[in-house]
Amino acid sequence: MRATDRRANPTQRRTFFTTPVATSTTGPLRLTRLYIATLLGLAVLLTVGQLITQWQFDKFQDELWIIRYTALQRHQSQQVAKKALLLSDQHDPAAFRQTQKSLQNTFETISKYYRQGQQGILTEPSRTIANSDSVKLLYRAVQPHFDGLQAGTRLLTELRGPDDLRTEAGQRGLKLILANETAFLERIDAVVRQYTHELRQKLASLQRFEQYLYLLTLAILTAIAWFVYRPAARRLREAVAQLVAAEQRTTEANRKLTSVNTSLNKARQQLVESAKQQFQLQINEQKSRTAYLVAGQEEERKRLSRELHDGLGQMLTAIKLQIEGLEGRLANGAPVETNLQPLKSLITQTIQEARSISNNLMPSALSDFGLMPALRVLAEQHNRLAPGMVTLEADRWLMDPHAARLAQPVEITLYRVTQEALTNAIRHGKATHIGIHLFEKDQYLHLSITDNGVGFKTQRLSKEPHGQGVHNMHERVKLVNGTFKLTSVPGKGTKLKVSIPYHSHALTHDYDKTNVS
């Protein structure tokens, strides 16, 4: 029916092949975001660099003003000494008072600039800068000479006339000015040099910052060119090439439409054949699985037959012989009390053997109490023969007798796998210690069985008789949607791990003992 529909609508099928597929916008969108991000980063970087540079330039201008104030102190200190000497040569009272006033104004100017420079205060613009420790130390060295100039100036400006210059106060004031003028000039020169040195260091730091900013800007521009413009150009070329190739493909697709129809018919036939083969493979696999199960059942029947014949049958035969002997003694009138005790012991052994066979078919602990009690009984049976051979560990909730029961198939599967693994480890692996660990993790119930036996190469399982038992365990686990893993190294023992989806059921279990066996 589908093949007929395809042949009936060739136009629709042609439309399917020639419809262009929408191009994904993920690439261009990513490039756009990257382009915007790089430009924003570059703008922010340049803005921050410009703000830092302007801020540094403002600080440099403030420091230049401070240097100017300090340099003016040198000039003014020379003017103070010059006016003090000029004052000593004045004999006219009017000229004397005018020179005193000029001296006082000059020193007030020096005092103003000195205080501003010492405290880092600027009047134009009105701001304050922080002097370095070196500058503060130099100003402390200047302070005594400044105080000397101030004291000498005060003494000279307090004179009343030219005649007072010859007094002790006049001569002392002139000596103070002349004695401190040179030292004050040298110390102020040291302050100017320190200011200049610090300014040069800051200019060098700003120059390095500008260089780093320049290099970083170049790196960002290079990154934009490499990661944005280059991919964009490549994508543009690819888009043009794709358009040309799309036109060619459209022409080629129309030309190949007839051959595609033929190929579709062939593909349909191949699909049908493949489905048949797959179905046949599933049937063969199911047959193989069924054959393994039947073989396992036959093996179990043979084992049960041997146990009945070699164990229970022999004991019943011995009981029959004991009864026949007892019957002969009764017929002859001989005493029979001495033969009853061996007969009772033989009957007791027969009962125990019958119970053992029944327990192997379906343990009563498994049907009545659940998985963990059955595993304990199984471990105790082996430990009675060899103390400490089997150790059993489980999560606390599994050991709780009041916990919810597991699903019936899960309990049977885990018990039978453990039973078969213990038999193989003792019979074929010659193990002296076997560890059983049952725990729940990630909604799976995990059974791990490890022994210290001789181990073997797992490739031998398909060639040796006991490989049938491993396969039966594997099939049992697959029936409950579990996973089965067996690892073994010659001389280092064997480890078996089973993982089954975990679902607890608080239901009464009613086992079909015939199917379980």
**375 burial via Cβ count (<10 Å: 0-12, 13-18, 19+):** buried
484 φ, ψ to 5°? -130, 130
Q: For the chain, how many structural domains are there in total?
A: 2
Q: What is the CATH number of the domain that holds 370?
A: 3.30.565.10
Q: How many Cα atoms within 13 Å fall on the side-chain side of residue 244?
A: 5
How far apart CA 373 and CA 392 sit, in angstroms, is: 11
Whether 10 is covered by a domain: the verdict is no
How far apart CA 29 and CA 507 sit, in angstroms, is: 60
What is residue 510's predicted lDDT score, i.e. its pLDDT?
46
What is residue 497's predicted lDDT score, i.e. its pLDDT?
93
Give the model confidence (pLDDT) of 437-446 as tens digits.
999 888 899 9
Paired tokens of 382:
């082996």
Paired tokens of 110:
């020096």
**372 burial via Cβ count (<10 Å: 0-12, 13-18, 19+):** buried
Looking up tokens 């960002």 gives 220
Is 0.95 surpassed by the pTM of this model?
no
What is residue 516's predicted lDDT score, i.e. its pLDDT?
38
Whether 267 is covered by a domain: the verdict is no
What is residue 435's predicted lDDT score, i.e. its pLDDT?
93
**72 burial via Cβ count (<10 Å: 0-12, 13-18, 19+):** middle
Measured from the Cβ of residue 67, the count of other Cβ atoms closer than 10 Å reads 19
Whether 404 is covered by a domain: the verdict is yes
How far apart CA 495 and CA 509 sit, in angstroms, is: 30
| Mean pLDDT, contiguous 10-residue spans, the chain (517 residues) | 43 42 55 76 79 73 71 74 77 81 82 76 65 80 82 81 78 82 80 80 81 83 78 82 87 82 84 85 72 63 67 75 73 64 76 69 71 86 86 86 81 88 87 91 91 82 63 85 90 91 53 39
Alpha helices in 371-447 (DSSP H): 371-385, 396-399, 408-427
What is residue 302's predicted lDDT score, i.e. its pLDDT?
66
Whether 326 is covered by a domain: the verdict is no
What is residue 506's predicted lDDT score, i.e. its pLDDT?
41
**87 burial via Cβ count (<10 Å: 0-12, 13-18, 19+):** buried
Last residue of a domain, one of 214, 243, 272: 243
How far apart CA 445 and CA 410 sit, in angstroms, is: 9
Residues 84 and 232 occupy one common structural domain: yes
Looking up tokens 């049976």 gives 381
Last residue of a domain, one of 201, 221, 243: 243
Residues 197 and 59 occupy one common structural domain: yes
Whether 205 is covered by a domain: the verdict is yes
**Residue at 474: amino acid letter:** H
Last residue of a domain, one of 224, 243, 262: 243
**Residue at 492: amino acid letter:** K
Beta bridge partners of residue 440, listed in sequence order: 445
How far apart CA 402 and CA 410 sit, in angstroms, is: 18
Whether 76 is covered by a domain: the verdict is yes
Cβ distance 149 to 180 under 8 Å? yes
Q: Considering just the CA atoms, what is the radius of gyration of the chain in Å?
A: 56
Structural domain including 101 reads 26-243
**48 burial via Cβ count (<10 Å: 0-12, 13-18, 19+):** exposed
What is residue 25's predicted lDDT score, i.e. its pLDDT?
53
Three-state SS letters, 165-208: HHCHHHHHHHHHHHHHHHHHHHHHHHHHHHHHHHHHHHHHHHHH
Whether 359 is covered by a domain: the verdict is no
Helical (H) or strand (E) element with 313: none
Whether 183 is covered by a domain: the verdict is yes
